[in-house]
Structure 1
Amino acid sequence: MTGPPPARPGPEEDSRDDADVIAQSLEEPELFSGLYDRHAPDIHRYAARRLGEGPADDITAETFLIAFRTRHRYDTAHRLARPWLYGIAANLIGRHRRSEVRALKALARTGHDSVAASWSDRADDRIAVQAPLAGALAALSSGDRHVLLLVAWADLGYQEVAEALRIPVGTVRSRLNRARRKVREALSADPAFASAEEELTPSWTK
């Protein structure tokens, strides 16, 4: 791994970075909508892969509501707000831990589940790959699963995950290594292992 992905640029029509938008929204609240426009699609996509489309709508809305209400506490030294927003979303997703694990186990057991369509945004979604992967993810602790999926599905770098979850970078690395080892061990006997492991590879490492 070569490090965290580069910061994503904002919309062309707005050259202000996230920190500027948040700071200026304290005086002009309507400007906060720019932050929503930049990041809501990614937050929704991530939440949908974790919990399904229905909960993702609520998670996304509540993430930005909390962000708006607490924006006066945002540290503008962090110019990109993605870790902050994913941290809020992760906390909200954590409240659904039992539902997520239950859905993962159901998908692993039957190869079909109500949230299965949300597990991958690929057009050629393959349940044969998802089912063994679901079982491996269900067996992880909540903390390890958060770290693994923030790296793999949200494309956050180590430092960004540390900021999102408010844990040391060293803890991020140890949790990620442990999670990957456990997933690899769980999938090692499965013929779909190589494809399933690809689901857990962030784009910035390819």
Structure 2
Amino acid sequence: MDDHALLLAIAGKDREAYAEFFRRFAPRIKGFLAQSLSHNRADEITQEVLLRVWRNAPSYDPARAAPSTWVFAIARNARIDSLRRTARAAPEPDDPVWVPAAAEAPDTAAERKAASERLHTALAQLPEDQRVVLEHAYLKGETLSQISETLQIPLGTVKSRVRLAIQRLRGSVKPS
């Protein structure tokens, strides 16, 4: 019996035809689904697809599609439905992403503010050539080679200025 005849028999609720259809199509459907789903999920969706075939066989129209095209369209739609359900699964309330961050202790905030002020003061006190190189490196995100080209100074000079500036900042920013 060909696939078309099997679907017509399934439309008439012929269980033997459905068993034959199952033997022919279940492995192919599972293989198709396993390309984008886990094997366990592919098994579940395969069962769902075969159930849909049983229920919807009377709506199969041979003039519109071949039996395998119709079945794999059902499988594709079931796969999409499964992926959508997975994508919008409810978030776990215990997930750290959803737990509000603890408020920063006042003394920690004050320490952070004091360190920030020390850094700004230290940056302002750097020699201009060192400050400019640091601004290009850390604020503009340029590489040392790019800084060398932009400022038209040798790469070795850029490296020296960055190193000296960082050393001065470390000494200046340490808490008193």
TM-score in same-fold range (> 0.5): no
What TM-score do the two structures reach when normalised by structure 1? 0.38
Q: Select the structure that is richer in helix.
A: 2
What TM-score do the two structures reach when normalised by structure 2? 0.43
